[in-house]
Chains A and B, each alone.
Chain A
Amino acid sequence: MVESLPLAASQHADPSRLVVALPKGRLLDEARGLLAQAGYGLLEGDNGRQLVLPSAAPHVRYVLAKPSDVPVYVEYGACDLGIAGLDVLREAQRDLLEPLLLPFGYCRLAVAGPAERAGRPLRLEPNPRVATKFPRLTEAFFRQRGVSAEIIELSGSVELAPLVDLADLVVDLVQSGQTLADNGLAELRVILHSQAVLVANRAAWRLKSQAIGAFVASLRDRSSVGDRPEL
């Protein structure tokens, strides 16, 4: 049974109920454990295709969204809270609160290029072609260095671009670096150290302060305070 509009209407009116946006994919798999420990575990449906899911706490509902859409759902107030990667947040530049960093989803956004060019400074590139899924952060990174880069926005498999001479460099998320190495690329610079972040809508933060406060507190209690990588 798919819930649609009535969810929004009833959940928004009642200050004790929360709608939380979760990013489908890798981050969600890592979030499940923490949410369950905090008493807000996802209750899965039969077919695994539902987009609105109940939680172990009756007043909390989850909405499964594409990771890059999570900040949008939360900024508009369609969801009160959300979990997103810092990489996605900084790229989206939405007006959100970020009350809690979560201890998973660690990765880094890095500039990478053909392994054989690793030594040459980026700022000596006159007009590099850079393929990325993160055009805003990429543009800012090169602009700060006075380099006029040609940003080529792709929506997947960015590491392919240098292989077919579509781009000179790529800016992409790196976890182990194995994908880069497999494609003959080497990591040159780190732009951003990323991890999962709990984000909140500014209006909901005021209007549902008790429910949100309890949610944040119980997640905080279960998140060991790890060292935050230097930016």
Chain B
Amino acid sequence: MRIDTQPVQELSPHVQWPLPQGVVDLVYQDAASKRELETALRGCFRAWSYDELIPPSFEYADTLASEAGTQLAEEMYRFTDRDGRTLALRPDLTIPAARVAATRLHDQPMPLRLFYIGSVFRYEAPQAGRQREFTQAGIELIGAGAPAADAEVLALTVEALRTAGLAQFQLALGQMAFFHALLAELEAAGPALHGLQSALDRKNPADLAAALDQLAVAGPLRRAISALPELQGGPEVLARGRALCVNDAMAAALDRLSAIHELLLACGVAEEISFDLGETRGMEYYTGITFKGYTPGLGFSICSGGRYDDLVGHFGRPQPAVGCALWVDRILLARQRQGWQPAPLRPDLLWQTGACPDCLRLVGQLRRRGLRVELDLGDLDLEALRARAAGQGAPRVALCAGADAVMLASAGAAPRRLSLEQFAGEAATW
């Protein structure tokens, strides 16, 4: 093994710390792969008749924090404008979408179908798979409360993950309405519930039992809550959940999941979705279904979504809504680990034109046709030009050879002298 003994290049004193923690520069293949994925997702969302929303990067902190939930509000980057008002970088894009829907699009025919692709900012301790600036691509279906709307968002999420090129993935679908209806039976609130929810979140049966002891929960209610961590798997989970219902709201929440499941079967995406009625974490604004997606090779979720019927009303006329956000950077990482090969970044042709107007005109034509043509700005001879092309992976080089003549050298072949017309004819086949 060769050990790199080169000293780190000395930095200018202005960039002793070139970047804060939690942000990255993407160049070359990494930047290209990300843009290409975003373009593919944009195409997918548009095909489902979703329109793009581009909200501002920062807003009033109060607007963003109002419904974001305490966890998200704590993680916002805040700063003040010259009037002394507190602004914040958006910590997610669902809240701006809800604000736009309620304040500007409230008189449009419902439902609204919006998508977005952009950076979000969270000031959080760098930990597994988290950056402080990262990209979310998401969809919001606003003004539709039916199970069909839930199913559409789930099916589109599956389609988007397939479009992204992931080898395999799984969405775990929960139902906050089921859990909330169960909690409504407990005459407890706030801190007393915190231990319960934390134990459920970690699927820790001993902590769950201790929390239930503390709340003095017994009988069918205790049986139902204790069973939550086990209520995961295929559609048979719904039947098992039904046996534990202690009120009508719980039964209604399961009926809704059954209806959604029927629709997912019809859409051909039921294979990718499993149920987990014990999945109770996530954004505090979810009121119905919630889901998270996972793919092999990555230890954390690649997307999360759910129904949030109370959020839009916070900014104006209430509307039921359901949506999902994909974590673009994590999908890129997972795809790479699954062996995804990005298309190489290389010129199709390296050309030394000098100041020859005929050559330059042809360069323009080839570029407009979509070929990637790089000019050599120096005065390399043919040999040096070929060496440089080999280093870049460019398959061929050209060199102006006087009036109406070009030397063309393809990789591994002898150079040939061509007229510009012959050259253009051959380039048409690349």
**Which residues of A are interface residues toward B (Cβ below 8 A)?**
12-13, 15, 74-78, 94-101, 197, 200-204, 206-207, 209, 228, 231
In angstroms, Cα B295 to Cα A206, docked, is 9
SS of A interface (majority)? mixed
SS of B interface (majority)? loop
Q: Are A207 and B202 in contact (CB under 8 A)?
A: no
Q: Which residue of A12, A96, A203, A204 has the most chain B CB atoms within 10 A of its CB atom?
A: A203
Q: Does B300 contact A (CB under 8 A)?
A: yes
Q: Are B296 and A202 in contact (CB under 8 A)?
A: no
Chain B positions within 8 Å of A200 at CB level: 203
Q: Which residue of A78, A94, A99, A231 has the most chain B CB atoms within 10 A of its CB atom?
A: A99
* 26 pairs, A vs B, C-beta closer than 8 Å: A12-B296, A12-B297, A12-B337, A13-B167, A76-B129, A77-B298, A77-B300, A96-B202, A97-B203, A97-B204, A98-B207, A101-B205, A202-B294, A202-B299, A202-B301, A203-B294, A203-B295, A203-B296, A203-B298, A203-B299, A204-B299, A206-B274, A207-B170, A209-B232, A209-B233, A231-B210
Chain B positions within 8 Å of A97 at CB level: 202-204
Chain B positions within 8 Å of A75 at CB level: 127-128, 299-300
Chain A positions within 8 Å of B205 at CB level: 99-101
In angstroms, Cα B296 to Cα A209, docked, is 12
In angstroms, Cα B233 to Cα A162, docked, is 53
Q: Does B257 contact A (CB under 8 A)?
A: no
Q: Are A202 and B300 in contact (CB under 8 A)?
A: yes
Q: Are B299 and A13 in contact (CB under 8 A)?
A: no
In angstroms, Cα B207 to Cα A220, docked, is 16
Q: Are A228 and B210 in contact (CB under 8 A)?
A: yes
Mark out the residues of chain B between 290 and 337 whose CB falls within 8 Å of any chain A CB in the assembled complex: 294-301, 337
In angstroms, Cα B210 to Cα A101, docked, is 13
In angstroms, Cα B299 to Cα A99, docked, is 17
Chain B positions within 8 Å of A209 at CB level: 232-233, 274
Q: Are A95 and B128 in contact (CB under 8 A)?
A: yes
In angstroms, Cα B26 to Cα A126, docked, is 50
Q: How many A-B residue pairs have CB under 8 A?
A: 73
Given the known interface contacts A202-B300, A204-B299, the answer about A94 and B128 at a Cβ–Cβ threshold of 8 Å is yes
Chain B positions within 8 Å of A201 at CB level: 299
Q: Does B289 contact A (CB under 8 A)?
A: no
9 tightest Cβ-Cβ pairs between the two chains A and B? A77-B299, A203-B294, A98-B204, A98-B202, A76-B299, A206-B294, A97-B203, A75-B128, A206-B170
Given the known interface contacts A99-B205, A206-B170, A209-B233, the answer about A13 and B296 at a Cβ–Cβ threshold of 8 Å is yes
Chain A positions within 8 Å of B294 at CB level: 202-203, 206-207
In angstroms, Cα B191 to Cα A227, docked, is 25
Chain B positions within 8 Å of A96 at CB level: 202
Residue of B nearest to A201 (CB): B299
In angstroms, Cα B296 to Cα A231, docked, is 37
In angstroms, Cα B128 to Cα A94, docked, is 9
Q: Are B204 and A99 in contact (CB under 8 A)?
A: yes
In angstroms, Cα B128 to Cα A74, docked, is 10
Residue of A nearest to B338 (CB): A13
* Beyond A97-B204, A200-B203, A206-B170, 8 extra complex contacts between A and B, CB < 8 Å: A95-B128, A202-B299, A203-B294, A203-B301, A204-B299, A206-B294, A207-B168, A209-B232
Q: Which residue of B129, B205, B338 has the most chain A CB atoms within 10 A of its CB atom?
A: B205
What is the CB-to-nearest-CB distance from B278 to chain A, in angstroms, rounded to a whole number?
10
In angstroms, Cα B274 to Cα A218, docked, is 23
Q: Does B172 contact A (CB under 8 A)?
A: yes
Chain B positions within 8 Å of A77 at CB level: 297-300
Residue of B nearest to A77 (CB): B299
Residue of A nearest to B168 (CB): A207
Mark out the residues of chain B between 258 and 305 whose CB falls within 8 Å of any chain A CB in the assembled complex: 274, 294-301
Q: Which of B207, B232, B297 contacts A13 (CB 8 A)?
A: B297
Chain A positions within 8 Å of B19 at CB level: none
In angstroms, Cα B338 to Cα A77, docked, is 14
In angstroms, Cα B233 to Cα A58, docked, is 25
Q: Does B1 contact A (CB under 8 A)?
A: no
Chain B positions within 8 Å of A202 at CB level: 294, 299-301
Q: Which residue of B128, B129, B168 has the most chain A CB atoms within 10 A of its CB atom?
A: B128
Chain A positions within 8 Å of B295 at CB level: 203, 207
Chain A positions within 8 Å of B298 at CB level: 77, 203
Residue of B nearest to A99 (CB): B203
In angstroms, Cα B296 to Cα A204, docked, is 8
Chain A positions within 8 Å of B127 at CB level: 75, 94-95
Q: Which of A15, A74, A98 contacts B296 (CB 8 A)?
A: A15
What is the CB-to-nearest-CB distance from A199 to chain B, in angstroms, rounded to a whole number?
9
Residue of B nearest to A75 (CB): B128
